[in-house]
Every structure is written in structure tokens, then in C-alpha cells.
Amino acid sequence: MCTRCDNPAHLPTDESATGHTRRAVVAGSAALASTALLPSTASAQANGIPAVGYAVDALNAPLKPFSFTRRNLRADDILIDIQFAGICHSDIHTVNGDWGALAYKMVPGHEILGRVAAVGSSVSRFKVGDYAGVGCLVDSCGRCEYCRKGMEPYCEQGATFTYNSKDRYGANTQGGYANRIVVKDSFAIRISERANMAATTPLLCAGITTFSPMEHWKVEKGQKVGLVGMGGLGHVAVKLFKDRGADVTVFTTSPGKVADARRFGASEAVLWSDKAAFGRMKRQFDYILSTVPQPFDVNPFLELLTIDGTMTTVGVFAPLTPGVNGANLVQGRRALTGSWIGGIAETQAVIDHCVERGITADVEIIPITRVNEAYKRVVSKDVRYRYVIDMSTLRA
């Protein structure tokens, strides 16, 4: 069992063979933190904070080791030594160009957890040694209607995303497949020391992405809900639905996931190919959440909604094919909706809730050298259920 995260599936590398012990890493972080609240040397001010990670420099290219710099700490920044980084399907979409061209040589990763190594002079929410997380966002304007409501992803001036984005100063953002990150303290998430760190890391995206629509559409105890697609996001959604007291049915294309769905709390698991099951379930569901990352036919699922039922998709950013049959909406007064990620306050809320309730992602922990293999396995649905990179395996 891993002594860092208490995960029995994690078999860490032989530290003695590498010469990099956990004690040495902690000591190094402490030394960095104790030098000053802000970098003070002329070279640090001129060149930024050295960092290493894995980056991609062309669409569909493999990730490779990459040296770069993080900005020097501003007064409201914190420096996090990254311990774990989750692999989200969004990372793969971005690397493959599904959502547009790469803006620059890019380090992916927006499920990031580690320990605070240094803090800016005005930071009060964190101290050196605290656990902290970073999700999909690292900044927003902070002044528009949506930012003031805690809905930073919908910022009228455009949110700054953790990677493949420009920050407010024109610099490129780089994600969490790296040894450290600098972020505004107001966009960092506090992580309790009681958390299972590796298994909590995916909740910074998978947790908030599924929790936010449940909150918005007020999923509650006793409702009959459906979950379409049980991968990295979906398996977390089942646990969150169950925790709310909902009666959950999982719809999956993978026969091998049926038993897992029940283990996570679903009362039933149905294969997409089971037309008889779809027939008997018509007009039964109050709410259906889809985490499927590719366009698919939503019409058979709309027919499962009761009158005034709602279906929400969080994974598809492309046109739905085939199109929506309007009769499936009009004749049941049903709604087909979408949801993105949640704001920072809501992300903090789901992390706190999951730690308190013992809700975690099921993870496979891998060294950074297996990241390209992991990408292929995610696409082929060969992961149970979220890859998390042990960043101690990244050597400077």
C-alpha cells in the first residue's frame, strides 16, 4: 500500500533506486519555501521559476519532457509542488485538436494536487505546507455579472484556463503534468489533510463537472435518475447521485462495467443495445446526465424522461448527430440542456463534501513515463476509472 495516498492499487517506484527519496523532496520543498515569501534574487525576477513537465508541440504528437518557467510569485499567488495530476479526456481532446489548434508547446493537465511551497505577501488563505488543488480555471475578470455570482467559467471577458490559454498578462498557461505550478490563491482549492490525495485529484474536474448540474437542476432524494456513460466523469457521478439519495440507473456500452455500476451505487445497469429495457423504461426518469465525450443519438434517452424531465450533457462540444427529434421535447415538455464546469466556490464545496462523505474517484496511479500509453487506453475505454500521474516520478 502506498504510504502517500493509502491507495492499495498504488505500487510506487523503488525510491532507493532513483536516489530521490520522499524525505529529500519534502526537505527540498521546505528549503524553497523558507527562503522568502516571494522570489527575491535578480535571476528569479528576470527568468521566473524553473519547472519541468511533459508537453506536446503538435496535434496528435506524443507528450515529451519539457523544461519551462513559471511566473515569479505575485502578492496574491501561491507556488504548489505538484504531487498528483489526473488525466482527463479533455486533455486528450485538446492534444488531438478536437477543440481547435494548439496555441503553443503545451503542458496539459487540469486536475492538480500538491503542497504549497511558497506564498505571496498578501496571501492569507494558504500557508507553506498546506495541501492545495487547481482545477480547470486559473483566473477570470472577477468583475462581471457571472464572476460576481461565482460562475467564473462563464466570465464575460473569458475565463483563463489552466492550459492552452492566455492569462490576463498575455502569457501562455501551462497545466499540471509538471513538478510545480503558480496560481492565484483565490483560484486554488483547499484540500483537507484527511483526503486521499491521489483519489481526490480527479474530483477537481470530474467531481465539479458532474456535481454542478446536479446542484443547478436540484437533483434530490427519491428521484429516478439516469447516467449515460460511466467513465472518468460518469463513475464519480454515480457516487454523487447515490449520495443524494437518488435511484440511479447507468446506461453503458461496456458489459464489463455493469457490475461496477452496481458497486458504485446504481440500482440497475443497462446496455445501450438492450432495446427491451429502453422500451420498459419510457417516461420513468426525472433527470438524466450524460458524460459521453463524443456526439451520439440522444433521442432514445429523451424518450426515457418523464413529463418535465431534463437531460443534461457535459461531455459533447460538437453537433449532436443525428439531430434532436423535436417531438421528444414538445410531447413531454422535456428539456435538453448542457453544463460546463463549476465556479471556484462550487468546486471548493464539492471537494469539501466528498472528503467529508468519503467519496473518491477510482484511480490507476501511473508514472509520468506511461502518459502516452494512458492516453491510448482512455480512448479505448481501458481504464478503471481515472488515470492519476504520480508526479514524484518526474525527474528534473
In Å, what is the CA distance from 215 to each residue of 210, 220, 237, 342?
A: 9, 9, 12, 10
Phi then psi dihedrals of residue 172, to 5 deg: -75, 135
CATH number, domain at 185? 3.90.180.10
Co-location of 172 and 213 in the same domain:
no
Co-location of 332 and 385 in the same domain:
no
Q: How far apart are alpha carbons 24 and 393 in whole angstroms?
A: 14
φ/ψ region of 6 (left if φ > 0, alpha if ψ in -120 to 50, else beta) reads left
- Comparing C-alpha atoms, which of 353, 315, 346 is closest to residue 200? 353
C-beta of residue 84 within 8 angstroms of C-beta of residue 134 = no
Co-location of 53 and 184 in the same domain:
yes
Co-location of 227 and 288 in the same domain:
yes
In the chain, DSSP assigns E strands to 49-55, 64-70, 77-86, 112-119, 131-134, 137-139, 160-161, 180-184, 189-191, 224-228, 247-252, 268-271, 285-290, 305-313, 335-338, 363-367, 386-390
Max Cα distance, the chain (Å): 71
pLDDT score recorded for residue 396 = 56
Tens-level pLDDT at each residue, the chain (396 residues): 444 444 433 433 333 333 333 323 333 333 333 334 444 333 344 689 999 999 999 988 999 999 999 999 999 999 999 999 999 999 999 999 988 888 889 999 999 999 999 999 999 999 999 999 999 999 999 999 999 999 999 999 999 999 999 999 999 999 999 999 999 999 999 999 999 999 999 999 999 999 999 999 999 999 999 999 999 999 999 999 999 999 999 999 999 999 999 999 999 999 999 999 999 999 999 999 999 999 999 999 999 999 999 999 999 989 998 999 999 999 999 999 999 999 999 999 999 999 999 999 999 999 999 999 999 999 999 999 999 999 999 975
Q: Which amino acid is at 22?
A: R
Cβ neighbourhood burial of 268 (10 Å; 0-12, 13-18, 19+): middle
C-beta of residue 224 within 8 angstroms of C-beta of residue 247 = yes
Co-location of 256 and 179 in the same domain:
no
Co-location of 132 and 150 in the same domain:
yes
CB atoms within 10 A of CB 103: 13
Residue 298 is assigned to a structural domain of this protein: yes
Pairing of strands 160-161, 137-139: antiparallel
Domain extent, residue 153, equals 15-202+363-393
Q: How far apart are alpha carbons 234 and 252 in whole angstroms?
A: 10
**371-379 vs 89-96: helix crossing angle, rounded to 10:** 100
Sign of torsion over alpha carbons 169, 170, 171, 176: positive
Co-location of 66 and 24 in the same domain:
yes
- Comparing C-alpha atoms, which of 100, 92, 179 is closest to residue 387? 92
Query: What is this structure's pTM?
Result: 0.88
Sign of torsion over alpha carbons 257, 297, 386, 339: negative
Co-location of 270 and 373 in the same domain:
no
Co-location of 326 and 370 in the same domain:
no
CB atoms within 10 A of CB 34: 10
The count of structural domains within the chain is 2
Co-location of 257 and 382 in the same domain:
no
